[in-house]
Amino acid sequence: MTATQTTFKLDCGYARGKIQDTRKFRNPASISEMMEWCDTHQHIELKDKQGRWRTVKVNGKVRTWKRDSERIEVPCKYGLYEYFVLTARDIDNVLIPLAR
pLDDT tens by residue, 2-58: 446 788 888 888 767 777 788 899 999 899 999 999 999 999 999 988 888 899 999
CB burial class (10 A; 0-12, 13-18, 19+) of residue 27? middle
Beta bridge partners of 57: 43, 77
Give the pLDDT band (50/70/90) at residue 61: very high
**pTM tops 0.85:** no
| Residue 47 · residue 53 · CB < 8 Å | yes
Higher-confidence position of 100 and 94? 94
Predicted confidence (pLDDT) at residue 99 exceeds the cutoff of 80? no
Predicted confidence (pLDDT) at residue 70 exceeds the cutoff of 90? no
**The predicted structure's pLDDT at residue 86:** 93
CB burial of 45-75 (b: ≥16 within 10 Å; e: otherwise) equals bbbeeeebbbebebeeebeeeeeeeeebebb
